[in-house]
Structure 1
């Protein structure tokens, strides 16, 4: 199948040809026709399968088919995304595919001044890409009008639920007309996603081009068993010995991201970190430097890395296992995109085997852990209290589970021992 067979106008086809795209991906083949017919769609697809174009292309065609003069602050198509990075990525796709069209589009997210966004909204927008929090700010200021919205797209809806945006989504829904087209895209399916779909979608066409919660087919997965205190040493060794030139490393916390980035920098690896506490400008600079090869290693938390689109990224490393098993699928989906191959390396300590089993259960595959020569488990090592298994940030008690004796009991025991010797 070629794009010409999907009833897309010549200006859109020209933009696609300039990007080197000739044939639609499976999710595009299945999504574009029903979206053009105005039907609601519930789509599940692995990351990197071209789902952004799957909804952007038919929406541009719909706007072409029904041209309108925009009223002040009016929005015709709204795309909601969970993160700033994903919002920017979707907006760039809209700009790319609408290069030869005269539509007004904008991207609104937090972390930057809201005043320039007021100016963009004032003349009305054909397509608005936004994060929920910043959009609600605009709704409170009445700088955008969603009363005549024609199409709503929820992109990476599973992540929006994971990040606690369900209340914000419902506030936004209250501002929308009942008669509209709704498209929901999610990398994974869950009971919460199905419940949200039942509330928002009207007799949707269900599209699933990959097994729910499946990992990308072209990603080779390797798991290494290594003591936590040697993970940094091991990853530096792997990057240097195997000459990896572009590596995305996932960690669990913001503090952990900064700490690992500093350690790898000291090891001679040009490294940057991105997480939610970083200013948007700093995050964008770090990402641009990584894409351009100025930075060799990018350390990221799950929220900051969500939606990152790095072409031909060869390596992803799970330095820490994610708190939510589904995030493993999202993480390794950063590589092996658009038909290319990639490699995902996961480092686990002996205390993380249970979390790995949860991932294996979710993805329905076995991930045997190997031991890299020179990094065998050291049973004599006793980690600091804050590195023992348990809730994040919680200092643990004695490893044997026994209660620590009170100061009074210790003194009494010592006194009795002294008397016995006397």
Structure 2
């Protein structure tokens, strides 16, 4: 086997690989010898079929396998000896298209090598960790919000009109073109006005209505309504308002605390304080993560594989296009061109991605099975009733596994950088932390 370098420019590499006919023939014979003991053929005992006959019978098929294995072996040997790591799958093609048995195999292999990542002194990275303590006012505010979610509704005084946020208890019957339809009727239905749980335009027509009133509510079903026979149709709902109830926040007492799993109100306050500080810590970590990525981006500079840049810029452009055009769910849209802004963002992402991968490899960072299982469970919750099918899908899909593993790996590497960096704490207000988080979203 002969490997000759044909291209070495920047990160681009090219090689001509020659596998001699003798090497290929030896590989085919090796496969035949390996298979011979288990082969039966009429007129011969098992394992006693002559090699020449086996070669005539199976040689052509085994030659194809031998060619692929030999070329793969040559590639693997090259990467082991050169130390190169291809940025993407190498482009491999056979150049002698008129190949016939007895000829050498001529193959061209080209790829872009991953660059050498320079050493980074992580101890030189200075970071500021924003710390927010959950004050009594914050806990009281969260407790009041919690009580509001556990609110009850009490009947307004007789003759009082409904207001936005009230609950009205109604009987209704809906008709399209004068005909009732499935799911268009109910008795004693409790509807919270402003909850947007009914067809758009329905709830506002019940604001300012008193108990005992009967009225027709006319609305149009959305064009994309899930029931095709109703989509875009005008409907008239005959409604009878039976009760009008005002929202009443739950009492801040031990009984409320027990509804949320605490022994008493004091215990619930402790839980709320801990939850708030955990939320603050998560937001603070997001701010510090951006700061460390900015710092690393300034510390390192190295050549980047053009193919990775092009692929990443394309993905960024595609993602941003769909964010700007949320009504387009599929990919049946015009070709999306990448801009200089997309390319600049891609350059940063690829550089930092390669750097974090290198840091993680040297630090022997690994994603555990337990962490992967937790990530899969988190995703599976988005498909209620189909969790088992989702688990099986992930187990069979290496790309999906990588998509779940990548952010976990990145966060563990970031934590590793935090441990080595010079981190100082700064106590700030909740509002200051919120401003810092909003600044991340604006960039």
On whether the aligned pair clears a TM of 0.5, the verdict is: no
Higher-Rg structure is 2
Between structures 1 and 2, the one with greater helix share: 2
TM-score, normalising length: structure 2: 0.18
With structure 1 as the length reference, what TM-score do the two structures score? Answer: 0.19
Give the structure with the larger strand fraction.
2
